[in-house]
Structure 1
Amino acid sequence: MLNPVRLNDGDAMIKGPSVILATASAGGTIAAVRNLGAQGFDVDVVSSDRLGAAAWSRYTKRRFSAPPESDSERFLERLLAIGQSSPGRILLPTSDETAWIYAENAPRLQRHFRLYHPPISSLRRILDKKLFSESAAGVGLTVLPSWDPTSLDELAELAPTLPFPVLIKPRTHVHRVRNDKGVVVDTPQDLILQYRRFLDREQPRTVDTPLLPDAKRPLLQKFVRIGAEGVLSITGFIDRSGELFVTRAAKKVLQRSQPIGVGVCFEAQPSPENLPARVRDLCRELDYFGLFEAEFVSFDGRWAIIDFNPRMFSQVGMDIRRGMPLPLFVCLDAIGDTEALRREVARAQTLDDQQAVFRDRFTLRAILLAQTLTARISREELAKWRRWLKQHAGHAVDFAADRDDRVPGIVHAFSELYLGLRSLPRFLRAKAANGMTTTKTSRKLEEQHS
């Protein structure tokens, strides 16, 4: 039996264990709501979007509307009002933005919530990608070559010497205008152009914070084209003491966009030897506790770490299927139920369904349809993905769809359709611009050969 939650500052004890989660459209939030609700937690969801799928789960007890998380001040004020009305809920980070908001404003939030996150100093070394790369290298992990020009003049001097292709990578996703992973460039000229565009887009709107002083300036990183080995994901949990530790490994086999993008499909696989131990060393170096996802790519015959997510991530549901219920672990640690936590972690260390796969079926089908209509996919590739869906139908975990909780899957489909329609004009403009460029190039070739 889970224990009730009591705050330390005199607030009344609430009736039972209660959790509040934001980022309602995220796959990790959807999975956490279902996992915790099935385990007897009261789960409340804060949604910044009417089509936030997690808010429509049958396991969600209460729904709260809120401003976008990117509008951090207004989002924080709304969260404080929710907490004041009914104190005692466990507050878990569900995105980079909320992880930062919760840690940066911990003194105000802890009056009304039971917080569960590492100190702001830890998150700074994780969410600032340059500091993170330095920390990872310090514990013996391989990292990709990177550069940090501090001015456009320095960039212009550096550009001709770089080993292209190069990724212009956001230094952090905190307080960003866009939530993309960056842009890949192949020439010095394109690097300078795209770097300027990044600064023009991000700098006027990025919120200044002394703890992330260089947030407006992107990093440059060697871009590695992904082969058959895919992107390796090591996910897991480490408790406050650093003693309890458990992981799973998976391969990202499809992403939303090329050459970089958010994962759509993952396949379970065994962990490479010694890599989980290195991740544990990294967590201890960073003074980090909680659930996590560490991402790796193959580089010069070794696994190089490229990112670390200190919060919920899309394929949490697959880890739950594989016997590693990460949302439950963090809640047990948050309420101090050490006995139950030890028992659950020990069980997770002996169970692993390595047949499990993760998919966002609606998005996968939408991608295949779009690529078919635009003649960007071969018949062989299309047939491969149809076979993949059929082959794994019996042991697939979906982003949102679930037979026992159908509404979030429907809401997610409507959300994807809405986002697709919103992006259609930009897609058509980009296609028209590419067509004009192609026509001009053809004319030049014709003139050269006439």
Structure 2
Amino acid sequence: MDPSVPVLLVKVGYYPLHHGSVGAVRTLGRLGVPVHVIAEGRFTSAAVSRHRAGRIVWPTTGAEPAEHLVQELRRIASSLPRRAVAVATDDEAAILLAEHAETLSEHLLLPPVPRDLPRLLASKHDMFQLCRRYGIPAPESRLVASRDQIDEIVREFAFPVVLKNSEPWVRLAAPAVSRSTVVSTPQELYELAAGWPDAPYVLVQEYLPRSESTDWIAHVCCDAQGDIVVGFTGVKVRSWPPHVGVTTYAYSVSNPELAALTARLCKESGYSGIADLDWRLDHRDGRYKLLDFNPRVGAQFRLFETDAEIDVVRAHYLTFTGQAVPAGRQVEGRRIIVENLDVPARIAYRNGAAREHHIPPGGKREFAWLAADDPLPGLVTAARSARPIARRVVARLFGGRPQGM
């Protein structure tokens, strides 16, 4: 491959520990691609990787006006030696790149995704509407735009239900629901809603019982026509926070049915670029139901690779620099472990009901942070995450934290 075209990792918001960014730097940097990292500071996980070619310190919150973000991003991109392939590492960045592609494409190579599609896919409510349009199974959902709708929700939904922030890409100062929350009874819902603003924009979603379902993930890279260049499927075993957070342990296994369902959604919607999808297999009716569509690189993308050593980031780079993507099959049984988060996740899952997982043999273990040829991201992560993780583990185990922590 020709590695001469640079890459710019584009982020919006504050998350200094992000193993997806580290994975992107490593997978391209090891091939000689010059990867330039936008970072909150000099000592963030991706910024200290030995495989990065450049580091641009640009702290943002995600609340800045789009015009300001576009202006600064143009300035950053124009400072690179040549037009660069953009890789979005969060939903906000993916939305910004798509909605301002005409302005940014002078300095960045961007997938020709429809302008409004990333915003629609990142929104829980709009994604549900798209699923209905294209006949994709998804949990029944309803947007609560006013507290007056609570009576209607209680009449029409079976409890428990799940509450989610409808627009998770917006880093709101005080969202009505900060993360996915299971509500067991109508009375509990009424009590929570009493503290919501008049227009809460909370998504109420059908609850899929964990004891009767399995979490799956799909990662794809689509070309300009919406066809999948490479696609992967795997099983999510653990996450942090438990059941609702980022994947901490997963393994790869081919699933032709899920791959076909993912490919149909991408093709019919016209999606182009990298995507990370969360699915849940409902064993009660045997259907895969879409929970999330992240229109950007997933944090755990290094779980997946073909036998030609192609992952979604390498495929994206080759596709949008006009190079051929080597043919290959998904490697079965690869596992990813997010070291700092899987420790508390193991503790949390130890006491819950566990579904038997049959991991195909022979797969390699991929660590999110540890790498013999790139030790600094792991050291930075260990230093920055030790105390917060300890606080959260103690809080979950004992309902509080001891003095001095």
TM-score normalised to structure 2 length? 0.84
Structure 2 gap ranges (5+):
none
Aligned residue for 1:113? 108
CA RMSD of aligned residues (A): 3.4
Name the SS for the 2:211 alignment partner.
coil
Worse overlay, 48-57 or 353-362: 48-57
Residue pair 2:277, 2:293 contacting (<8 A) in 1 also = yes
- Tell me the secondary structure at the aligned position of residue 331 of structure 2: coil
2-side partners of 1:378 and 1:259: how far apart? 13
Cα distance, 1:37 vs structure 2: 1.0
Partner of 1:231: 215
Q: Deviations over 1:384-426 (max 9, x none)?
A: 9xxx9xx99982101111112111111122232254378699x
Q: CA separation of 1:367/1:277 partners in 2, compared to 1, >3 Å: closer, same or farther?
A: closer
The percent identity for this pair of structures is 23
Aligned partners of 1:255 and 1:263 also within 8 Å: yes
Alignment partner for residue 335 of structure 1, among 312, 316, 321? 321
Q: Tell which deviates more after alignment, 408-417 or 321-330.
A: 321-330
The one-letter amino acid paired with 1:21 is L
Residues 22-64 of structure 1 deviation map (CA, whole Å, 9 limit, x = unaligned): 4463222111111111222100101125552111111111111
- Structure 1: stretches of 5+ with no match in the other structure: 4-15, 204-215, 434-450
CA distance in 2, matches of 1:117, 1:36: 22
1:431 aligns with 2:364: no
- 1:406-421 equivalent positions in 2, closer than 5 A: 406-420=375-389
Residue among 326, 330, 341 paired with 1:363: 341
Report SS of the residue matched to 2:46: helix
Question: Could you tell me how far 1:431 is from its partner in structure 2?
Answer: 3.1
- For 1:311 and 1:288, the matched residues in 2 are separated by 11
Name the stretch that deviates more: 77-86 or 407-416: 77-86
Q: Do 1:237 and 1:291's aligned partners in 2 also have CA atoms closer than 8 Å?
A: yes
Q: Superposed, which structure 2 residues align to 1:311-350 within 5 Å? A: 311-320=296-305, 323-337=309-323, 340-341=324-325, 344=326, 346-347=327-328, 350=329
Contact 1:18 1:90 in 2 (8 A): yes
Q: Partners in 2 of 1:298 and 1:367 — Cα distance? A: 21
Q: Is the partner of 1:263 in helix, strand or coil? A: strand
- Residue 33 of structure 1 is matched in structure 2 by 25
How many angstroms apart in 2 are the aligned matches of 1:97 and 1:194? 28
Q: Which moved more, 1:168-177 or 1:236-245?
A: 236-245
Q: What is the one-letter code of the residue matched to 2:74?
A: L
In structure 1, the residue corresponding to 2:293 is in which secondary structure?
strand
> 1:33-432 maps to which residues of 2 (within 5 A)?
33-73=25-65, 75-86=69-80, 87-116=82-111, 118-177=113-172, 181-197=179-195, 199=197, 217-227=201-211, 230-271=214-255, 273-299=256-282, 300-320=285-305, 323-337=309-323, 340-341=324-325, 344=326, 346-347=327-328, 350=329, 352-368=330-346, 377=350, 395-420=364-389, 427=395, 431=399
Give the counterpart letter for 1:302 in structure 2.
Answer: R
Q: 1:213 maps to what in 2?
A: none
Cα separation, 2, equivalents of 1:408 and 1:28: 12
Q: Partner letter of residue 270 of structure 2?
A: D
Please state how far the C-alpha of 1:152 moved relative to its aligned partner: 0.9
> Cα–Cα, structure 1 residues 80 and 198, in superposed 2: closer, same or farther, change >3 Å?
farther
The structure where helix makes up a greater share of residues is 1
1:290-348 deviations in Å (ceiling 9; x for gaps): 122222112232111111111111221111376442111111222223xx23xx2x23x
2:28–2:314 CA contact under 8 A, matched in 1: yes
Max radius of gyration: which structure? 1
Higher mean displacement: 114-123 or 257-266: 114-123
Alignment CA distance shift 1:380-1:220 (3 Å):
closer
Give the counterpart letter for 1:266 in structure 2.
A
Q: Deviations over 1:183-226 (max 9, x none)?
A: 111112222333454548xx7xxxxxxxxxxxx61211012122
Deviations for 1:96-129, whole angstroms, at most 9, x for unmatched residues?
1111122223233223322235122221331222
Aligned in 2, Cα 1:127/1:195: closer, same or farther, shift over 3 Å? Answer: farther
Q: Partners in 1 of 2:258 and 2:138 — Cα distance?
A: 13
Letter in 2 for 1:411: V
